[in-house]
Amino acid sequence: MRQRQARPRLLQAMLDAFSLPDLRRRILLTLGILVIFRFVAHVPLPGVDLAALEELFARNQLLGMLDLFSGGAMRMMSIAAMGVYPYITASIIMTLMVPVIPRLQALSREGEAGRNKINLITHWLTVPLAGLSGYGQLVLLQREGVIGSTAVLPMATMVISMIAGTIFLVWLGELITQYGIGNGISIIIFGGIVAGFGDMIIRGRVEATGNLWGVAFYVILALATIAFIVIFTEAHRRIPVQYARSVFRGGRMLKQSGSTHIPLRVNTAGMIPLIFAMSLVIFPGIIASYFANPAGADPNLANSIMNLFSPNTALPLGLFYWGLYFLLVIAFAFFYTMVIFQQQDLPGVLQRQGGFIPGIRPGNHTANYLNHTINRITWAGAFFLALVAIMPFISREITGVDLQLSSMGLLIVVGVALDTMKQVEAQLVMRRYEGFIK
């Protein structure tokens, strides 16, 4: 017993987890699938000029930021270059379509069977989205001279390979969800982002040779951002709820009551507003890049638009991109939170289960109270997301260091780490072991 108390709590919890055969099997399965994912990420597509691709990434920092999410798979142009993001896009589209399309609304109310049908539709929608995304990437690379052949058969082969890579990763993620630890799709994204940190650390060492204090302050800002993310990810407002029900016992009808709470999260929308806002703010620049004059030639209107909607544009022009990004994140945070909140239908659930908020009448009064509360706390969550979104710009301007530290990547890494730790904690507590989260 003394030996258990002498060890750090987290270390002891990990030892307890590996001492349980079923939990150890789940953890090892998750790690094994991540290893398979990293092998797949290094299988290159045929017909790609890797030297030209490396040169393209060196002069286009936006591609370098996107490459962080694929764990280097995009830099190698492997079959896993798109990761699981077509599936994430399909999931977001289905989430937005469920309240709009009556047939999908009916499916969402059919319980587990309805959710399985919606999930099947999401998988089918992933295929064309992956095909369009893969074809768009290949056309852009062909324009830059990275891909030589534009014949139909080689192009179709590469697109099909990229679709297969995405579907294979989605399947691996579902294996983790079913047999491993944590949400499988999130774990796959987490593995890709963390794998890209090694290259960022190497670049940081190069930057430190000429700007040591800048890199040191950059690390401090990164750690403060992580702490900031943890606080707001876990922050929530507790709404007290009481339940009253009648129980037939001993030939008499007895009334019983109980109390609990509804945890309304400050950041209900998660990272989705960042994805929406980034997609919208970089779209004009991507379109303009197809019509821009090459480097060294006289700039045209497309060049100006491309610079205006680029995250790497210097001040004061760069304020337009980051200011627009800041405002769009706030707007999408409110939009997506309202969509999720309406789908949950908390007032209706409370009324059906015989629950009520003390001092608030059931029905419309409860709905108005919850809507007012979620609107107020969403302001804090929206400004938190917006500040995290522009943190790379702030850190770059303060320190002079540009390491492409993605705020979206930090949100994903911290969120997935917290969720996985909670699942391991729940498994340990269920087996009467002491956990490591207080």
pLDDT one-digit tens code per residue, 135-186: 877 877 777 777 766 678 888 888 898 899 999 999 999 999 888 888 888 8
Burial of 97 from C-beta contacts in 10 A (0-12 / 13-18 / 19+): middle
pLDDT tens, residue by residue, 297-351: 667 787 788 778 777 777 777 788 888 889 999 998 898 888 788 777 777 777 7
By the 10 Å C-beta count (0-12 exposed, 13-18 middle, 19+ buried), 352 is classed as exposed
Residues 6+ apart with CB under 8 A from 85: 69, 133
Q: How far, in Å, CA of 333 to CA of 264, rounded?
A: 15
- The overall average pLDDT reported for the chain is 78
99 near 339, Cβ under 8 Å? Answer: yes
Q: What is the pLDDT of residue 416?
A: 82
Tell me how far apart the alpha carbons of residues 150 and 148 are, in angstroms, rounded to a whole number: 7
Checking if the pLDDT of 256 tops 60, the result is no
Asked if pLDDT for residue 127 goes beyond 80, the answer is yes
In whole angstroms, how far apart are CA 61 and each of 22, 117, 196, 206?
44, 40, 14, 17
Q: Which long-range contacts (CB under 8 A, 24 or more apart) does 60-66 make?
A: 61/311, 61/312, 61/402, 61/404, 62/282, 62/285, 62/310, 62/311, 62/312, 64/404, 65/311, 65/404, 65/406
User: Left, alpha or beta for 72 (phi > 0: left; psi -120 to 50: alpha)?
Assistant: left
Nearest-Å Rg of the Cα atoms of the chain is 25
Q: For residue 119, what pLDDT band results from cuts at 50, 70 and 90? A: confident
Comparison of pLDDT for 222 and 73, the residue scoring more? 222
pLDDT at res. 32: 92
* Sign of the torsion formed by the C-alpha atoms of 286, 290, 296 and 300: negative
Q: Which domains does the chain have, with CATH numbers?
A: 1-210+408-438 (1.10.3370.10), 212-400 (1.10.3370.10)
> Going along 109-163, which residue ranges are E strands?
none
For residue 250, the model assigns a pLDDT of 55
Instruction: Check whether 197 has a pLDDT greater than 60.
Output: yes
**Residue 339: strand, helix, or coil:** helix
The span from the first CA to the last CA of the chain, in angstroms, equals 20
Cβ proximity of 433 and 293 under 8 Å = no
Report whether pLDDT(218) > 60. Answer: yes
pLDDT of residue 65: 58
Q: What is the mean pLDDT of residues 194-204?
A: 70
CB-based contacts of 72: which residues, under 8 Å, 6+ apart? 41, 195, 196, 199
Q: Is 100 exposed, middle or buried (0-12, 13-18, 19+ CB in 10 A)?
A: exposed
- Cβ(363)–Cβ(427) under 8 Å? no
Using CA atoms, how far apart are residues 309 and 322, in angstroms rounded to an integer? 9
pTM here is 0.75
Which one has a higher pLDDT value, 293 or 224?
Answer: 224
Q: What is the pLDDT of residue 6?
A: 43
- What local confidence, expressed as pLDDT, does residue 167 receive? 92
The DSSP code sequence of 46-97 is: TTB-HHHHHHHHHH-HHHHHHHHHTTTTTTTTBTTTTTTHHHHHHHHHHHHH
- Mean pLDDT of the region 188-199: 77
Residue 3: per-residue pLDDT: 45
- Which residues have CB under 8 Å from 360's CB, separation 6+? 366, 369
Q: C-alpha distances in angstroms, 263 versus 211, 260, 347?
A: 45, 10, 14
Higher pLDDT, 401 or 106: 106
